[in-house]
């Protein structure tokens, strides 16, 4: 941790004033991965059985379930409270711009809900999100994912057609494998 440190920022040759840094680790420090692992393992025990965590690299997804809407709402509020308190107690900042609610249901959700955490922080309900390479939407229809996959496949096919007159069949196959098969097998 940085205990006694003074820093300033530069933007377009303009210097900010010097300020004391009370907490933090310099970006790129060898401590960053170690502290991340310690924090994330400690965080996973905080929620108990209220939620299921999915951890991948530096992304964390919290899965909250409930048989009835009231049970879900109670679990959700408890998880948000525990998570916010855990971040505050550990001098961490939750990035609310990257924090969203994706409510999964077989029924269409027409209204966008906003959860207000405080005067400054809100968590918005979104229609779809990228999750480990897939685009998942709130009704689990996969429409957004199929549209994106189709677009990427069209680009790959165009590139293959464009080089076809200039290369051998073996080169075309070598081009097709990473550009098309990787999209389909993911």
pLDDT tens-place string over residues 19-57? 777 777 777 778 878 888 888 888 888 888 888 888 877
How many domains in the chain?
Answer: 2
Asked if 132 and 56 count as a contact pair (C-beta separation under 8 A), the reply is: yes
Per DSSP, what are the bridge partners of residue 7?
A: 19
Structural domain span for residue 173:
143-185
Residue 125 in domain? no
Instruction: Give the domain-ending residue among 64, 94, 124.
Output: 94
pLDDT at residue 58 above 50?
A: yes
* Residue 127 confidence class, pLDDT cut points 50, 70, 90: confident
Taking a C-beta distance cutoff of 8 angstroms, is the pair 65, 80 a contact?
Answer: no
pTM of the model: 0.66
Residues 89, 20 within the same domain = yes
């Amino acid at each position: 941790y940085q205990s006694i440190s003074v820093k300033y920022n530069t933007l377009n040759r303009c210097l900010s004033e010097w300020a004391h840094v009370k907490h933090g680790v310099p970006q790129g420090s060898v401590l960053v991965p170690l502290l991340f692992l310690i924090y994330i393992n400690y965080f996973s025990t905080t929620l108990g059985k209220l939620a299921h965590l999915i951890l991948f690299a530096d992304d964390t997804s919290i899965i909250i379930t409930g048989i009835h809407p009231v049970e879900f709402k109670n679990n959700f509020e408890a998880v948000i409270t525990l998570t916010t308190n855990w971040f505050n107690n550990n001098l961490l900042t939750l990035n609310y711009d990257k924090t969203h609610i994706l409510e999964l249901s077989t029924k269409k959700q027409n209204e966008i809900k906003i959860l207000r955490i405080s005067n400054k922080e809100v968590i918005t309900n979104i229609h779809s999100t990228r999750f480990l390479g897939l685009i998942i939407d709130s009704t689990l229809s996969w429409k957004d994912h199929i549209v994106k996959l189709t677009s990427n496949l069209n680009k790959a096919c165009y590139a293959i057609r464009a080089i076809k007159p200039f290369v051998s069949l073996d080169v075309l196959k070598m081009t097709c494998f990473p550009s098309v098969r990787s999209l389909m097998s993911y």
